[in-house]
Amino acid sequence: MMVTTNADAPRLVLASASKVRADILSGAGVDFDICPSDVDENILKDTLSDGGALALALAAEKAHAVSAQYPDHIVLGADQILSCDGRLFDKPRNMDEASKNLMFLRGKTHQLINGLALVLNGETVWQNTATASLTMREFSEAFLDMYLHQAGTSILSSVGCYRLEAEGSQLFEKIDGDYFTVLGLPLMPLLGALRQHGVLML
């Protein structure tokens, strides 16, 4: 794999335990460390009702929390919010909740709102939001039962109860937006920011 990270630049730290985000960065040839943030997301979720503002605030909060442990490193915080009919969704706690959420989303268009933040020595040096709109088809309850059985508990790590790169693609009839935004890491603007701050080669 070609690694394009600039050896003389600040090292990148991903403040997330998301395997998908780590795989996207690795696939793009970015060298980085991982230090998941332990931020209590509920505090911000109780005070912010706008999906975009919440995604940005959570991303920044995660990055700031990890930045204190990694001086002179660029820390990447990321968060994804699902919004549908004025309701903001959390990751499902169990398969029963996943089933209920998918029944609510069935036949509707929802938004995946992503927030990204880069923090260096406690200072936010870059922020970005990106949104994708996804329309679920009117799938049958029999299909939903089959989907939940085949996808298994892996979907509990996704706010939308699906992985678009796997069986989750069968839930949809239309998607408007960037593929990486759907997966939770808008890659093109992030790579541009990493080049701007010297992490990646120009």
All structural domains of the chain with their residue ranges? 12-196
C-alpha distances out from residue 133 to 17, 59, 74, 112, Å:
25, 20, 30, 6
Encoding tokens for residue 43? 């505090």
Give the per-residue pLDDT at 43.
79
Catalytic residue among 46, 50, 72, 79: 79
Is 50 one of the annotated active-site residues of the chain?
no
Place of tokens 């029999």: 142
- Residue 198, amino acid: G
Give the per-residue pLDDT at 44.
81
DSSP-derived secondary structure letter, 83: E
Give the per-residue pLDDT at 98.
98
Check: CB of residue 85 under 8 Å from CB of residue 108: yes
Give the per-residue pLDDT at 6.
66
Class of domain 12-196: alpha beta
Give the per-residue pLDDT at 41.
81
Query: Where do runs of H (alpha helix) occur along 106-185?
Result: 141-151, 179-183
C-alpha distances out from residue 19 to 24, 25, 44, 74, 183, Å:
9, 10, 24, 19, 11
Q: Tell whether pTM > 0.85.
A: yes
Query: Where do runs of H (alpha helix) occur along the chain?
Result: 19-27, 41-47, 51-67, 95-105, 141-151, 179-183, 187-196
Q: Which residues of the chain have pLDDT under 70?
A: 1-7
